[in-house]
Amino acid sequence: MSTELEDFRAEVRSWCGEHVPADWRAAQTGVGAAEFVAFQRAWFAELHRAGFAVPHWPAEWGGGMGVPEQVVLYQELAAHDAPRLVLAFVGIHHAAATLLHAGTDEQRRRHLPAILDGEIWVQGFSEPEAGSDLAALRTTARRDGAHGDHFVVNGQKLWASGGAYADWCLLLARTDPDAPKRKGISYFLLDMTSPGVEVRPIRNALGDSHFCEIFLNDVVVPAENLVGAENAGWQVAQATLGAERGMTMLELAERLSQGGFGWLVRSCPADDPVVADRLAGFETELTGLRGLCRDLVQRSEAGTAGPADASIVKLYYSELLQRMTDFAAEVAGLGAHTELAKPMSSGWESGAWVLDFIGSWEWTIPGGASEIQRTIIGERGLGLPREPSGAR
């Protein structure tokens, strides 16, 4: 490792020692929504002041770190058990990637600084009958107005993580009902304070209400909030979110390796050879995951990433996470966490293993279930024949 990188590690390590709240896990366990949101905003602001909030953004917008520096940053944040940026996740990753790739200059100037100031985003993609088969979405956007200066949106979105707190929404809606499934969809930026927007929280298996339904009843969206060309929203979503998946996984892989594996090792009996063998296997897989993520990000930046590479990483991470938390829950047992509670600002490897395992299914289903990822890998990565066109 270069001297510059070692100096940067020392800088981040020193900063973490001074700024990561020592008692945040206890303070964030069992809190209400207001306390959770306030803590997340404060922690994001702390990272932003240090220049650590959006290292993957271009330098002109407050980022500019290379991949080696990002890896060091995420390693140290994980090693110091820093809180996750749960509320800012969609904004700093998905919304930013969309705007940087396909947004107008005006859209970028409006929203990128606002995200750094704490603007919260939600993803309005999935619907009751259009989850993994996202192209089957039925929410409609009809161009209206004397000069076609706005769209009127009607429909419903489901599994909108953090929707109850969001200021803006990344919205996919059908603008041409007669076009083939993927060719009649447009991509919008939706102000969540618009009349006709209703958000209803959904209580999940962990007992919280992070997921939400969003109901859209004659919601007016200005035409200037269209991202990319009309009816080209599917292409915008695939291009921006596919590439961004590598960026998000870069951090998540380091978190799982540094924090999650550390929690796991401390939960296991050190003298059991069977357990030791399983731990060695997980450590090997984590090393592979980290290498895959770094390679994907570097090739994405160079424009050489393959069409299925992001799906490979997503599948690898989500199923490894599920197997690790399953094993940890088996070893630790229910007695290790009798209160069955975990901090709201933690991740999916908090050490409350039973809850972590239940929560891990959030990764193998939404965002394209594992079966969908395997189909993408087979068709786009390996060139296998597609299923009959009438089935999709």
**Where does the pLDDT of residue 301 fall: very low under 50, low under 70, confident under 90, or very high at 90 and above?**
confident
Half-sphere exposure of 129 (CA within 13 A, CB side): 4
- Predicted pLDDT of residue 392: 46
Q: Are residues 219 and 198 in contact, defined by beta-carbon separation less than 8 angstroms?
A: no
Tell me, yes or no, if 244 is annotated catalytic.
Answer: yes
**Where does the pLDDT of residue 110 fall: very low under 50, low under 70, confident under 90, or very high at 90 and above?**
very high
Q: Are strands 168-174 and 226-227 parallel, antiparallel or unpaired?
A: unpaired
Residue type, 202: I
Q: Are residues 366 and 348 in contact, defined by beta-carbon separation less than 8 angstroms?
A: no
pLDDT per residue as tens digits for the range 196-209? 999 999 887 767 77
Is residue 291 scored above 90 in pLDDT? Answer: yes
Structure tokens at 11: 């800088």
- Predicted pLDDT of residue 246: 67
For the segment 101-105, the average pLDDT, to the nearest whole number, is 96
> Please, which residues have CB within 8 angstroms of residue 115's CB and are 6 or more apart in sequence?
88, 91, 92, 95, 96, 121
- Predicted pLDDT of residue 227: 98
Q: Which of 11, 18, 127, 244 is catalytic?
A: 244
| Residue (of 116, 302, 131) closest to 213 by Cα position | 131
Comparing 220-224, 261-265, 326-330, which segment has the lowest mean pLDDT?
Answer: 261-265
- Predicted pLDDT of residue 243: 57
- The reported pTM is 0.91
CA 252 from centroid of its chain's CA atoms: 9
pLDDT per residue as tens digits for the range 211-252? 899 999 999 999 999 999 999 999 999 876 665 566 788 888
334-345: buried (b, 16+ CB within 10 Å) or exposed (e) per residue?
Answer: eeebeeeebbbb
DSSP H stretches of helix in 51-95: 67-79, 89
CA angle 353, 261, 70 (to 5 degrees): 120
Domains along the sequence of the chain with CATH? 3-94 (1.10.540), 119-233 (2.40.110.10), 235-391 (1.20.140.10)
